[in-house]
Structure 1
Amino acid sequence: MPQVEGHVVSVWKLKGAYLLLYAAIGAYGPFMPVLYKQEGLLESQIGLLLAATSAVTTLSTPLWCVWADATQAHKAIVLLSCALGSAFRLFLIPAASRFATAMLVTVCMTAVYSATLPLFDTFVVHSVFEEYGPMRKYGAVGFGLMVAVSGLIVTRFGYMAAIYVSVSFNAMAFAILASLDLDAPFRRAHVQHANEHDGHDGSESDMPHRPDADVRAGDDNLVDESESEDIEFADREPLVLNEQPRLKRKVSDFPPRPEHFEEEPVSRWIKMLRLGQDPHVAVFVFVLLFSGIANGMIEGFLFVRLSELGASGWLLGLSRLLMCAGEVPFFEYNDSIVRALGIFGTLAFVQAAYIVRFTTYSLLTNPMYVLLVEVLHGVTFGSLWALSTQFGRLIAPPKLEATTQSLISVVHWGIGFTAGSILGGHLYVLWGAVNMFRCGAMIVACTLTIALLAKACLGEREYCTSRERRVVDVEDDEHVPSHTGRADDST
């Protein structure tokens, strides 16, 4: 089992939490646009409601995560967010018949619930970095299975029954979250920072004691980082993706502690802002943004279009089940995909899958045929989201991990999804569903071109696992750092 600050983290608790949290969303979320349509709301109003969800997420998620990083109260904030989100969810159906009340409830529910998943994602990434995809796939399983079941529940018992099921799943997820030490990885970083202020100089006596460490005669000043995964250094730079794997580093090689500690928090934020100057990061964020636009158009109006074509609640649930089933292998094996295609290659793969989906939706006359392409959601969501979460972890400055993850979420689910929902709603009213999906295909065709050009012109950087990044070869003089913490310029 993975360990965080000496605490064993139950893998089954992580899997169970993902399963229940996403099952709670799947019980009602995909059917809300159909309900709004049945209640007489216009497609443009439906788009605004969906846009409000992502817009509020854009504003509230970073605030929650910055507050969590500042107070180190991650667990308390996650539990509070989960509980309040469940409470507001009970008011969704009664408010659905009027646009103003539906908007008010949607905004309140989204604002309070937006901290739960990003902070839990950050905890999981810290606990089992390379296993994030296999863990996150249980969210896809829970979401997909619950959508399929919820389609039958809605057809037979109505939408309010689906809400009750959702709240019940959220209550069970709350119990699991309450049993986890969600503060552990963040508390470790806080202790390291406090040790620096107390004057610890990074000597061997300051290193965490590891009973199982491999200490050999004559090598007392070596730290085997391949076996000490929990040793992190507060002065580490944000990841450079083409960093070469190394084996060992002398403790004396680490740079001395800085003299002016009060400047460190500012420097971390400056490093985060400077990430945007890296063309690889800039292209990644740009493609992620437009992928969010495409996702907003599909999530908001695919079920509305299928309902117009005569799809039953059972068919809607089955199509969503296939979508989530497609996510599972891509969450599981996404690391291998990225190693084979590269980061830009994977982004291009995602955009190509979006083109196939949009084109198929624009040609549909029989709703049953939607089942043929729904597994591609595994590419457009599963592969992209696993890559985005790990990419955010790799580039995050020290002590800003939760904030970085929230910003990644904001780009896709906040800004991108908001724009896609509004754009899709207006295009649906003006030109109809067919032309809306055709416009979506043209948008992702442009981002596909950008991803391929970036791969050809900028090249791919090596995709490293956390173990490879943190292992240092003391015998390779080219990678022994100078006192500035960087490779010696003379090599």
Structure 2
Amino acid sequence: MDRDRRAAVHRSPLSSFVLLYALMYGAFGVASPFWPRFFETRGVTPQELGLLLGAGTAVRLFSGPLAGRVADLLAARRAVLAACTGMAALVALGLLPTQGLWLLLLVSLSHAAALAPITTLADALASRAAATSGCAGGKSFEYGWVRGTGSAVFIVGTLIAGQVVGAVGLTSIVLMHAGLLAGAALVALLVPEATSTRNTIAQEEGATAGGFATLLHIALFRRLLLVAALVLGSHAMHDAFAVIRWNAAGIGPGAASVLWSLSVAAEVIVFFLIGPPLVARAGPAAAAAIAAAAGALRWVVMALTADPLALVLTQPLHGLTFALLHLACMRLLIGTVPPQLAATGQAIYALAAGAATALLTLAAGALYARFGAAAFFAMAALCAAALPLTWGLRTRSR
């Protein structure tokens, strides 16, 4: 018995988290780029497609925090993660026989509601397991390794799905998506329910497990949300209009795909190699400042030029503007949010970034229509506004 207990102490949960993230993000990769085309084959018009996608985004903003709060109240983050993932797999299969706008809307909204909480619940488990993985003689690992695996597999999944769709049709994305999610639901039951004995800032201030209000009363948590909303939300202009901007400058689809791939590759490199040691040595506040400064530089260049060489040099800044900031926020959430509110804190963080991105996407359309490429200056201004806010993260996080 003692031998088994010692073996369990030294067994790292890294492999189970890597497999979980590979299956989750593989499920996203095989389907996300192809959902619009799938709905078109079901007779959905462009206007109706906008309704389906927009309503799905709105549902995600509500279901994520709700599921996170339930998981914390029940102290069952792993079980809720498995349930949501399994439900998303089953509902996805319901899309295959469904025809007609209103039935498609019902099924797709149910799918979005079940799918939305799984990344935040997984992050709550993985980030805290990583933070305590070196305790009691256990093997340590970095959260970035796990999240980087997800990004890498997303790319692989998209490439594989493109080949499969070309061979057997769009129904294959539903089957692959549901199968990978079903596997993720099973693996979710194997990951540990991470707990922490570290004193958090919220506990030092006498906070109790009161939910959303407790977290929003923490000054550092509010500042973290604002920085994340400004920097991550600034990507809205790029996601919506980068390819349009490049095409207008004579950059064709092939070159545009290479530029986009550079940013995703940089994200994976930062998650695996650069980000974890940088956050550990410089601190999360300094890492957030680097991300904000990189965002300001990146969007200024986008506003001023579409020269391919300039874009090749700036697209990899995505590794800083997204991946490095995300790692810094994960570190701050661990030190700020009480363990009993881990899933709720992750869900509010995701809500802040998602809501900011949705609102700024709407604003981006109007700005780009009026100012063209100069609209990217507005996104640079958001990152510049976030830069001085990171100083408050530095003083409190110590």
TM-score of Structure 1 vs Structure 2, range by shorter chain:
0.7 to 0.9
Deviates more, 1:104-113 or 1:120-129: 104-113
Distance (Å, rounded) in 2 between the aligned partners of 1:5 and 1:272 = 34
Q: CA deviation at 1:320?
A: 4.8
Partner of 1:272: 215
Q: CA deviation at 1:444?
A: 3.1
Per-residue CA shift, 1:259-282, capped at 9, x if unaligned? xxxx9545x87652321xx3x544
Per-residue CA shift, 1:281-308, capped at 9, x if unaligned? 4433212112332233433454677789
Partner of 1:204: none
8 Å CA contact retained: 1:338, 1:463:
no
Partner of 1:417: 357
2:116 is equivalent to residue 114 of structure 1: yes
AA aligned to 2:381 is: A
2:384 is equivalent to residue 382 of structure 1: no
8 Å CA contact retained: 2:31, 2:177:
yes
Per-residue CA shift, 1:51-78, capped at 9, x if unaligned? 5444322211111111111123333321
Distance (Å, rounded) in 2 between the aligned partners of 1:25 and 1:351 = 27
Q: 1:331 to 1:307 in 2, by over 3 A?
A: same
Distance (Å, rounded) in 1 between the aligned partners of 2:245 and 2:99 = 19
Q: 1:427 to 1:264 in 2, by over 3 A?
A: closer
8 Å CA contact retained: 2:264, 2:318:
yes
Q: CA deviation at 1:40?
A: 5.7
2:226 is equivalent to residue 290 of structure 1: no
Of 56, 64, 70, the match for 2:67: 64
8 Å CA contact retained: 2:297, 2:380:
no
Q: 1:90 to 1:351 in 2, by over 3 A?
A: farther
Per-residue CA shift, 1:163-200, capped at 9, x if unaligned? 3333332233233223x154x336xxxxxxxxxxxxxx
Partner of 1:443: 379
- Equivalent positions of 1:229-378 (< 5 A) are 232=197, 237-238=201-202, 264-266=208-210, 271-275=214-218, 278=219, 280-302=220-242, 319-332=259-272, 333-338=274-279, 342-358=283-299, 373-378=314-319
2:16 is equivalent to residue 13 of structure 1: yes
- Equivalent positions of 1:185-204 (< 5 A) are 185=194
Distance (Å, rounded) in 2 between the aligned partners of 1:394 and 1:295 = 26
Distance (Å, rounded) in 2 between the aligned partners of 1:442 and 1:4 = 54
Partner of 2:136: none
Distance (Å, rounded) in 2 between the aligned partners of 1:304 and 1:155 = 25
Distance (Å, rounded) in 2 between the aligned partners of 1:377 and 1:36 = 30
Partner of 1:41: 46
Distance (Å, rounded) in 2 between the aligned partners of 1:329 and 1:106 = 33
Distance (Å, rounded) in 2 between the aligned partners of 1:73 and 1:67 = 8
Q: CA deviation at 1:368?
A: 11
8 Å CA contact retained: 2:77, 2:343:
no
Partner of 2:395: 461
Gaps of 5+ in 1: 187-229, 241-257, 465-491
Deviates more, 1:382-391 or 1:326-335: 326-335
Q: 1:462 to 1:5 in 2, by over 3 A?
A: farther
Distance (Å, rounded) in 2 between the aligned partners of 1:368 and 1:80 = 47
Q: CA deviation at 1:109?
A: 1.5
Of 142, 158, 176, the match for 1:165: 176
SS at match of 1:185: coil
Q: CA deviation at 1:412?
A: 0.9
Deviates more, 1:81-90 or 1:395-404: 81-90
Distance (Å, rounded) in 2 between the aligned partners of 1:287 and 1:86 = 34
Of 137, 146, 169, the match for 2:148: 137
AA aligned to 1:18 is: Y
AA aligned to 1:444 is: A
Per-residue CA shift, 1:72-95, capped at 9, x if unaligned? 333332122112222333466888
Q: CA deviation at 1:354?
A: 3.1
8 Å CA contact retained: 1:292, 1:420:
no
Distance (Å, rounded) in 2 between the aligned partners of 1:4 and 1:270 = 41
Partner of 1:403: 344
AA aligned to 2:329 is: S
2:157 is equivalent to residue 146 of structure 1: yes
AA aligned to 1:380 is: T
- Give me the identity figure in percent: 21
Per-residue CA shift, 1:235-262, capped at 9, x if unaligned? 865378xxxxxxxxxxxxxxxxx9xxxx
Q: CA deviation at 1:12?
A: 1.5
SS at match of 1:382: helix
Aligned-residue RMSD, C-alpha: 4.3
AA aligned to 1:163 is: V
8 Å CA contact retained: 2:227, 2:389:
no
What is the TM-score with the length of structure 1 in the denominator? 0.64
AA aligned to 2:160 is: V
Distance (Å, rounded) in 2 between the aligned partners of 1:96 and 1:356 = 47
Partner of 1:487: none
Gaps of 5+ in 2: 1-5, 132-140
Q: 1:370 to 1:90 in 2, by over 3 A?
A: farther
Distance (Å, rounded) in 1 between the aligned partners of 2:45 and 2:98 = 13
What is the TM-score with the length of structure 2 in the denominator? 0.76
Distance (Å, rounded) in 2 between the aligned partners of 1:153 and 1:118 = 29
Partner of 2:125: 123
Distance (Å, rounded) in 1 between the aligned partners of 2:112 and 2:7 = 30
SS at match of 1:65: helix
Deviates more, 1:391-400 or 1:85-94: 85-94
Q: CA deviation at 1:379?
A: 1.6
Higher helix share: 2
